Structure 1
Amino acid sequence: MWIGRGLSLQGEGAEYERGAAAVRGTHGVHGGGYGTFNEKEGTMYWYHENDGAEGVYTAVFRYTHNDKRSKGPLAIYVNDKKVATVEFRPTGSWDSKWDEQAVSFTLVKGANHIEFRTMGESGPNMDQFTLK
């Protein structure tokens, strides 16, 4: 499904638990919305099929956050296994100044459950992430 073609997963298209939720009908984002942690802890997750080989892929996150005391860290889980931790530097806005951050991790062939979990504090607002 995404091998060699890239795949953009929209923040507002995730499933959510705890404090996380979708914000829809906004401007300046891809897909018309974004996922937010609402200044709380929470989880966002997606389920997608990898129709290519197992391998290391780079996820580029488009995000924003304005907490100058935090890097809004997220733990990345693939199929219930922690594969990475990502920190996001403040962008200077909660909804208009977007930036990108990249991290690499392994995806298996077939089903992949990709999950972002906060780590003791709120995470950034997530417009999308693109797998390459």
Structure 2
Amino acid sequence: MIYSPATRPTFYFIGVTTGQSSIMKVFPAWAEYLGLGDVEIKGIDFPAHDLPENYREAVNFLKNDLFSLGALVTTHKLDLFQSCKDMFDVIDPHATLMAETSCISKRDGKLICNAKDP
């Protein structure tokens, strides 16, 4: 997959058919209500149980792209964690316990793995 650098603050949604998700329609209203400014959401679709290198490529992009803020992960929580756990600077206790990634974020130059809905 070819990842283009974000040109404004961008959240990502990693799933299988992200374009069909209601969040793609709801997010702009949430962002406006929350006063998040000029942000957008983009989907990254992988087939279920994709190759580890594809997950790693996506996480590497998120880690190094200036305007990429992080990602929500749905279907790929377990596979992405197994493929990328060494790439995170911080892994929360729930993510470690459940061996899953449901949220990727960046703070103070660190890439963080969370399990927000264990």
TM-score between the two structures when normalised by the length of structure 2: 0.28
Task: Report which structure shows greater RCO (CA 8 Å, sep ≥6).
Answer: 1
Higher strand share: 1
